Structure 1
Amino acid sequence: MSELPEETGDERVDAVLAGLARLAELPVSDHVAVFDEAFSGLETTLGAVDAQ
C-alpha cells in the first residue's frame, strides 16, 4: 500500500485518513467497514465545506 501524506492541511480530513492506518492491523474482511467509515467522514467534511 502506498504511504499516505502526513497532513492534508485540513484537520477533519487528516483525522479521517488517520483512521485508515487501522487497515494494517485488521483482516481483509474488515476493510470494507473501515473504508465505509472513511468515505462517510470525508462526505460529511465535504458537506460542511459546501455549507459555508
Structure 2
Amino acid sequence: MSPSAIRSRGDDGPYLHLLALLCHLSTSLAHVMFASMLANLPIRGTHAF
C-alpha cells in the first residue's frame, strides 16, 4: 500500500464519522419534533371538546 492511499483513508475517517453524527442528530431532531407534535395533538383534541 502506498503512503498516499493510507493518508487519504485517514482523511476519510473523520469525515465519515462527522457525516454519520450529523445524520444521527438530524434523525433524532426529527424524532423529537414528531414526538412533540404527537404530544400536542391530544391536548388540542381535549380542549376542543
Higher Rg: 2
